Amino acid sequence: MNYNLKNFWLSFDGEPEIYFEEGASLSFKDLTRIADASFVINRFNPDVVGILESAGLAELIFLNERFLGNRYRCFSFRATDSRTAGIPLGFLVRKDWKVESMELLEPRTFSSRGVLKARISRGDDEITFFLVHFKSQVEDNAGDSARKRDAQGRRLLELVREELSQNPDAELVIFGDFNDVPGLSKQEKAAGVPDLIELLQRDFEVNGTKTRLYNVTLLHPDRDTSGKLWSEKSTDYPPALLDYFLLSQKTYSRFKRVDHIYPEEFSYVLEASDHLPCILDLK
């Protein structure tokens, strides 16, 4: 599951309008967000959850222990000490899976967020995850943010090639918030760079063999009841598709479906975050 929880900073002791829940004091807004987010996670019970925009480990541990039945191991990495400049990346991993390794790659790049790489296994099943959060669309000068996302996308492809060069049959899942819609955007035109989403799907060579990443979000879209495909929506802007799952060739052979949890499925889903939880199901 990919879940951008949108500024998930809890208000613990000392805040007004607190509600006491099993020894912790939370604002009513915090409690509502936790209840809505945990409802979705508990309903689908994913093996792995990539978490974006959660303040840190304390929030994830509290969410897991109080609302998720303590089923997960919690991991959170922040590239800088700033709560805003280094928006953390994290994982919830079911305890019946083994975490072989987890590291924050290049923390001073990728908008001071880095790329969170996790190798997770259960029995003979091993998957390497790359969780990303690309530069936002906020910019001072036209094209600045698109140029940064272009550089991030190219570096991400280099990391993928490095991984596949060591193990061509590696099962890779690249996912997160790419902050880019399909097609050439105004920002990309201003920057003079190609469409990021198309760039990430181009063929490339590994050890002399051609391969590619499969963007299953687009190849096998899960649309809402009106026929639209999106993953983020707020009162300030219409629905947009910013979150994706990309799979290596070996992982794509196991693909079953992508499921976006739209408001018609759970009416309070946008109360937890302006991003939808998105689920990848593999065979």
Could you read off the pLDDT of 80-108 as tens digits, one per residue?
655 555 688 999 999 999 999 999 998 76
Residue 4 has pLDDT above 90, yes or no: yes
pLDDT band at 18 (very low <50, low <70, confident <90, very high): very low
8 A C-beta contact, residue 270 and residue 198 = no
Write the DSSP string, 104-170: EE-TTSTTTT-EEEEEEEETTEEEEEEEEEPPPS--SSTTHHHHHHHHHHHHHHHHHHHHHHH-TT-
What's residue 237's pLDDT? 82
Higher pLDDT, 11 or 67: 67
CA dist 120 and 118 (Å) reads 6
Percent of the chain with pLDDT over 70: 90
What's residue 81's pLDDT? 55
Percent of the chain with pLDDT over 90: 75
Which two structure tokens, joined as six digits, stand for 47? 């093996």
What's residue 264's pLDDT? 96
What's residue 19's pLDDT? 47
- Which of 11-28 are b and which e, b meaning 16 or more Cβ less than 10 Å from the residue's Cβ? beeeeeebeeeeebbbbe
CA dist 92 and 81 (Å) reads 21
Residue 177 has pLDDT above 60, yes or no: yes
What's residue 17's pLDDT? 47
Q: For 195-247, how does the pLDDT look when each residue is reduced to its tens digit (9 = 90+)?
A: 999 999 999 999 999 999 999 999 999 999 999 999 999 888 889 999 999 99
What's residue 79's pLDDT? 73
8 A C-beta contact, residue 114 and residue 89 = yes
CATH number, domain with residue 154: 3.60.10.10
Higher pLDDT, 59 or 100: 100
8 A C-beta contact, residue 160 and residue 152 = no
What's residue 110's pLDDT? 64
3-state secondary structure of 231: coil
What's residue 11's pLDDT? 66
Which residue type occupies 266?
A: F
What's residue 140's pLDDT? 85
Beta strands in the chain (DSSP E): 2-8, 18-21, 24-27, 48-54, 72-77, 89-94, 98-105, 115-122, 125-133, 172-177, 204-206, 209-211, 214-215, 232-234, 237-240, 243-247, 255-260, 278-282
Instruction: Give the domain range for residue 133.
Output: 2-282
Give the list of residues 6+ apart from residue 144 with CB closer than 8 angstroms, or none.
191
8 A C-beta contact, residue 188 and residue 153 = no
Q: What is the rounded average pLDDT for all residues in the chain?
A: 90
Residue 260 has pLDDT above 60, yes or no: yes
- Other CB atoms within a 10 A radius of the CB of residue 279 amount to 19
Q: For 107-153, how does the pLDDT look when each residue is reduced to its tens digit (9 = 90+)?
A: 766 666 789 999 999 999 999 999 999 998 888 898 999 999 999 99
Q: Give the number of domains in the chain.
A: 1
